């Protein structure tokens, strides 16, 4: 039976510069950019909590204070909404708050890479398996992607990496997994990963998608990891080292992912979440249709 301790903690690395979405991120953390009616990171925290995560470790850096404030009390605002009887929106504001003592903020003094950011959370995570969620990747799924992964983890244990299919003509833009045998439902045993392979050399069309369940042994690998691509400590390199010792499975989630760290991915997420909003979907659809019609008319 594989070792399978409950996944109680999730690491959300938020210390990057967000250069691909500049100038929007010059003064605002990328993770706080609104995706329709809430910051991107709100969706990711909700996904973590739906999966049973009890404690969230944010790995932050300079200029990321807005994230801490977002998940805290906003006393004057809440008091004012209360006094004005704006109870519906007050409930939404309050729902964003994390319960006392269920979050930690650790500092990554310089953005030395995703692997380094995860390593910065080592003392707070301790000696137990944990989840990593990249907050610029939004996944629309029912249930959420991490909940699907936690359910799969309870049967298979080890380390899990979320993947979703990518078109052959796009595979050279992503990191993909190298399978070790055939898929068993959503799970595929892995033997490696390849970053941005040529189309004809890609070992699979399953790209790595920003959600992980990792065993704590990853921290030793990260501590020993030399800088890789871009001179940064890469999580992928440390996972490859751990793969020699521990089982890794790719998990093909059901749902759709959006890369909000990229301008067009961000646009796609905003449109999708607007269309998915129970209260405003119809109006959003109408607005988008009008915008498309107007753009088509002005072009012709």
Q: Give the interface with ligand UTP as residue ranges (CB under 6 A).
A: 13-20, 30-31, 59, 108, 111-114, 116-117, 134-136, 261
Decide whether 13 or 158 has the Cβ nearer to ligand UTP: 13
Decide whether 57 or 250 has the Cβ nearer to ligand UTP: 57
Residue 120: alpha-carbon gap to chain centroid = 17
**Can you read off the two tokens belonging to residue 298?**
């002005």
Please report how close the Cβ of residue 21 comes to ligand UTP at its closest, in angstroms: 6
Please report how close the Cβ of residue 280 comes to ligand UTP at its closest, in angstroms: 27
**Can you read off the two tokens belonging to residue 253?**
């989630």
Decide whether 14 or 171 has the Cβ nearer to ligand UTP: 14
What whole-number distance in Å separates Cα of residue 260 and Cα of residue 138? 7
Q: Which DSSP letter does residue 13 get?
A: E
What whole-number distance in Å separates Cα of residue 186 and Cα of residue 286? 36
Give the Cα-Cα-Cα angle 93, 48, 66 (nearest 5 degrees).
Answer: 45
The values of phi and psi at residue 138, to 5°, are -100, 135
What whole-number distance in Å separates Cα of residue 87 and Cα of residue 94? 10
Please report how close the Cβ of residue 37 comes to ligand UTP at its closest, in angstroms: 20
Please report how close the Cβ of residue 213 comes to ligand UTP at its closest, in angstroms: 17
What whole-number distance in Å separates Cα of residue 28 and Cα of residue 10? 23
**Can you read off the two tokens belonging to residue 217?**
């042994």
**Can you read off the two tokens belonging to residue 147?**
């909940």
Q: Which residue is nearest to ligand UTP (CB)?
A: 16
Decide whether 129 or 261 has the Cβ nearer to ligand UTP: 261
Decide whether 84 or 107 has the Cβ nearer to ligand UTP: 107
- Could you tell me which residues are beta bridge partners of residue 190? 179
Please report how close the Cβ of residue 48 comes to ligand UTP at its closest, in angstroms: 14
Decide whether 111 or 129 has the Cβ nearer to ligand UTP: 111
Please report how close the Cβ of residue 262 comes to ligand UTP at its closest, in angstroms: 8
Based on C-alpha coordinates, what's the Rg of the chain? 20
């Amino acid at each position: 039976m594989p070792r399978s301790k409950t996944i109680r903690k999730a690491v959300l690395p938020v210390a990057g510069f967000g250069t691909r979405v500049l100038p929007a991120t010059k003064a605002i953390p990328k993770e706080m950019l609104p995706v329709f009616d809430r910051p991107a990171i709100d969706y990711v925290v909700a996904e973590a909590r739906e999966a049973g995560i009890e404690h969230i470790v944010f790995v932050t850096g300079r200029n990321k204070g807005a994230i801490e404030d977002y998940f805290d009390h906003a006393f004057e605002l809440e008091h004012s909404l209360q006094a004005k009887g704006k109870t519906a929106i007050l409930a939404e504001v309050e729902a964003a708050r994390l319960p006392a003592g269920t979050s930690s903020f650790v500092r990554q003094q310089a953005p030395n890479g995703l692997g380094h950011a995860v390593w910065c959370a080592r003392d707070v995570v301790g000696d137990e398996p944990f989840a990593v969620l990249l907050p610029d990747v939004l996944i629309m799924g029912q249930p959420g992607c991490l909940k699907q992964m936690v359910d799969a983890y309870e049967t298979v244990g080890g380390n899990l990496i979320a993947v979703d299919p990518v078109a052959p003509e796009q595979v050279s833009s992503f990191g993909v997994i190298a399978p070790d045998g055939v898929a068993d439902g959503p799970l595929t045993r892995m033997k490696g990963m390849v970053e941005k392979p040529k189309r004809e050399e890609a070992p699979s069309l399953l790209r790595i998608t920003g959600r992980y369940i990792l065993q704590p042994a990853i921290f030793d690998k990260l501590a020993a990891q030399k800088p890789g691509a871009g001179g940064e400590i890469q999580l992928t390199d440390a996972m490859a080292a751990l793969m020699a010792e521990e089982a890794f499975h790719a998990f093909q989630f059901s749902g759709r992912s959006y890369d909000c760290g990229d301008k067009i991915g961000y646009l796609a997420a905003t449109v999708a979440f607007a269309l998915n909003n129970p209260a405003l979907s119809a109006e959003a659809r109408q607005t988008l249709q009008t915008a498309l019609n107007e753009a088509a008319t002005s072009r012709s």
